[in-house]
Amino acid sequence: MKIRHLGQDGRSIRIATPAKLNLFFELLGKRGDGFHEVETVMSTVSLFDDLQFSARDDGLLRLSIFQEGCTATESIPDDDRNLILKSMSRLRDRHGSKDLGCDVFLRKRIPSAAGLGGASGNAAGALLAANWIWKLGLTPEQLDSAAAEIGSDVPFFFHGGSCLCTGRGEVIESKNVPSGMAIVIAKPDTGLSTAAVYGKCSVPHQPKNSDAVLRELQMGRWNRVGENLFNRLEEFAMSMTPAIGKLKDTFDRLDCVGHQMSGSGSSYFGIFRNAADAHRAAKIATLETGSTIFACSTLGQEGTFRALVETG
Count structural domains, the chain: 2
Query: Please, are residues 55 and 11 in contact by the beta-carbon 8 Å criterion?
Result: yes
Q: What is the pLDDT of residue 311?
A: 42
CATH of the domain at 74: 3.30.230.10
Q: Is 48 helix (H, G, I), strand (E, B) or coil?
A: strand
Q: Is 117 annotated as a binding residue?
A: yes
258-261 and 36-56 beta bridge pairing: unpaired
Q: Is 112 annotated as a binding residue?
A: yes
Q: What is the pLDDT of residue 60?
A: 98
Q: Is 96 annotated as a binding residue?
A: no
Report pLDDT digits (tens) over 113-159: 999 999 999 999 999 999 999 999 999 999 999 999 999 999 999 99
Please tell me whether residues 240 and 133 are part of one structural domain. Answer: no
Q: Is 20 a catalytic residue?
A: yes
**Distance between CA atoms of 136 and 113, rounded to whole angstroms?**
32
Q: What is the pLDDT of residue 72?
A: 79
Please tell me whether residues 84 and 106 are part of one structural domain. Answer: yes
Residues in the chain, pLDDT under 50 = 303-304, 306-312
Query: Please, are residues 191 and 112 in contact by the beta-carbon 8 Å criterion?
Result: yes
Domain of 150 in residue numbering reads as 2-174+303-311
Q: What is the pLDDT of residue 2?
A: 76
Please tell me whether residues 135 and 187 are part of one structural domain. Answer: no
Please tell me whether residues 24 and 111 are part of one structural domain. Answer: yes
Of 86, 153, 187, 246, the catalytic one is: 153
Q: What is the pLDDT of residue 247?
A: 98
Please tell me whether residues 219 and 262 are part of one structural domain. Answer: yes
Please return the burial class of 300, using the count of CB atoms within 10 Å of its CB with bins 0-12, 13-18 and 19+: middle
